[in-house]
A and B are shown apart, each in its own frame.
Chain A
């Protein structure tokens, strides 16, 4: 067993950190206040290859491994959650899902521009009335000649208004044997006729990001847009979550780290009753807790990254990492505000933004309550992994680096 990062990992970490700290950290407060995404961020992340970090070179990616993806997410969210959200939907939900389930033709047409960052992808699963209960999706896709015709509403979709493509789950079977057989996945060009999108304002957090809705009215997509087979939509969506949740876990770990760093800096700087507040044991207890949670969250996500590199199914481990890190990041941000006192409550300091940003990740990609159920299912033996028709490939030199 070897816990050390390779030189490759360390350089990746430093590169993404430098980008986030130098280019985003100085401007993030302003864009968070404006509730808009800074326009230069997606093009910069594309240019630097971050948007295609762990996709094979032959599909336009950078050929790094899954651990690198996690490390990048940690660094991004240590500056702002919205940067990591981009990775979750663009890399996790859309690109990696296409890598796992897409046909060669779909990879050629959609994955390559996504991995190069020329196009932006998102994952369109949730609906106004459907969140974690994916099997209940109401958006419909009906075969009409050589096209599917899509109708419905998608809600809480990160990058809805910025993305070019959506990996979208819709109902194709209206009398299924099992509810989960009802669904299919599509890769949809959001420029298609009948698609409209918009942003949701007034969110508690991730304000410098884009979260929105997608409305589909008689949208015709060729039947080659079907990802996987008809009826595989539930499994594909769940595979997408195995990728997306990993980025959420790694990102939340970065948020905890940001809380530790901000709290340590402030505790050393601030004096009350003539002493540095770092001398007070109740402040120390909070910092110790954050530091411990950071370490735990990091071990969890890095293990998932390692499992992914070996192509070992990791639904359980990913669920644990996601739930633990996001719960801990919320607690860490709350404690960081306590350490900062009144200043922590205003946006003079970043910790109030950390708190607002942390809360969403306990809801999306499966609420943390759902994650408890998943984990209990594995523990009680009521839930078991079954082999998938298409597994995510292992990180292997040949597949990832050859042209």
Chain B
């Protein structure tokens, strides 16, 4: 089974962000494989281990994004491709989904394409569904479990984690599956994988390489980036002789402040 996993490079979730000259700045925080995508990579690898085949990691990003792909290779992906082009510099989801879909179409036709549910930086959460729409494949979004996958019958059943519970959906392959954290526990890269990844020559595809030209203008622009207002809350410590006195005082204060 050919499997593709789409990944992004993001800042580490522990990064402190600020606005410098109108741009988001993460200081010297590490750039990592988007934490949500680790689950996607793991699911791709688990699927390959069960079904055979190969996993290709696909990323659109700048030069440095090669490190995210290396991380995916070190975890066990067989191949990696970086889509990199100056025209993608201020890409929005419309453009990125187009480039990824075009990239996927240039690869050996996959049965499954995995995404993490979102990227921790831009946090749009629509990339999996958008690529699915472009490819015309079922979008299985927010997937928390894959109870059934039948490669020969080309069917898949997933549990989608909705706000109200789990929706059990079956669909046909090829499909795009966006996964949530609950689905697995991502492995660490192996040393063998690390050695392989560090030596890997990752192919780079330009916009033209994936057949895109002309109409790749984004729809969106970002006129301003702001730091959220610092919360003005000054913590009022509630003290008292024992727990029930503290609790009563707290309730009184919450009522006074019309919180409850």
Interface residues of A (CB under 8 A from B): 6-8, 11-12, 14-15, 18-19, 48-49, 53, 62-64, 68, 401
1/0 contact trace for B186-200 toward A, CB 8 Å? Answer: 001111101101100
Contact assessment for A7 and B191 in the assembled complex, using a CB-CB cutoff below 8 Å: no
Contact assessment for B197 and A11 in the assembled complex, using a CB-CB cutoff below 8 Å: yes
List chain A residues, Cβ under 8 A from B195. 8, 63-64, 401
Q: With A and B bound together, what is the CA distance between A48 and B194 in angstroms?
A: 12
Rounded to whole Å, the gap between the CB of A64 and the closest CB of chain B is: 5
Rounded to whole Å, the gap between the CB of B169 and the closest CB of chain A is: 32
**A6-B198, A11-B71 known; A48 vs B188 contact (CB < 8 Å):** yes
List chain A residues, Cβ under 8 A from B189. 11, 15
Q: With A and B bound together, what is the CA distance between A68 and B74 in angstroms?
A: 15
Q: With A and B bound together, what is the CA distance between A49 and B191 in angstroms?
A: 7
List chain A residues, Cβ under 8 A from B98. none
Rounded to whole Å, the gap between the CB of A403 and the closest CB of chain B is: 12
Contact assessment for A63 and B70 in the assembled complex, using a CB-CB cutoff below 8 Å: no
Q: With A and B bound together, what is the CA distance between A124 and B188 in angstroms?
A: 33
Contact assessment for A49 and B190 in the assembled complex, using a CB-CB cutoff below 8 Å: yes
List chain B residues, Cβ under 8 A from A18. 188
21 contacts between A and B (CB under 8 A): A6-B198, A7-B70, A7-B197, A7-B198, A8-B194, A8-B195, A8-B198, A11-B71, A11-B189, A11-B197, A15-B74, A15-B188, A15-B191, A18-B188, A48-B190, A49-B192, A62-B190, A63-B191, A64-B191, A64-B194, A68-B191
Smallest Cβ-Cβ distance to A23: which chain B residue: B188
Q: With A and B bound together, what is the CA distance between A62 and B188 in angstroms?
A: 14
List chain A residues, Cβ under 8 A from B191. 12, 15, 49, 53, 62-64, 68
Q: Which of B70, B71, B192, B194 has the most CB of A within 10 A?
A: B194
The B interface is mostly helix, strand or loop, or mixed, namely helix
The A interface is mostly helix, strand or loop, or mixed, namely helix
List chain B residues, Cβ under 8 A from A63. 191-192, 195
Contact assessment for A12 and B194 in the assembled complex, using a CB-CB cutoff below 8 Å: yes
List chain B residues, Cβ under 8 A from A8. 194-195, 198
Rounded to whole Å, the gap between the CB of B72 and the closest CB of chain A is: 11
Q: List residues 62-76 of chain B with CB under 8 A from any CB of chain A.
A: 67, 70-71, 74
Rounded to whole Å, the gap between the CB of A379 and the closest CB of chain B is: 38
List chain A residues, Cβ under 8 A from B194. 8, 11-12, 15, 64
List chain B residues, Cβ under 8 A from A53. 191
List chain A residues, Cβ under 8 A from B188. 15, 18-19, 48
Q: List residues 27-77 of chain B with CB under 8 A from any CB of chain A.
A: 67, 70-71, 74
List chain B residues, Cβ under 8 A from A11. 70-71, 74, 189, 194, 197-198
Rounded to whole Å, the gap between the CB of B186 and the closest CB of chain A is: 9
List chain B residues, Cβ under 8 A from A401. 195
Smallest Cβ-Cβ distance to A9: which chain B residue: B198
List chain B residues, Cβ under 8 A from A15. 74, 188-189, 191, 194
List chain A residues, Cβ under 8 A from B192. 49, 62-63
A7-B198, A64-B194 known; 7 new pairs, CB 8 Å cut-off, are A8-B195, A11-B197, A11-B198, A15-B189, A15-B194, A49-B190, A64-B191
Smallest Cβ-Cβ distance to B190: which chain A residue: A49
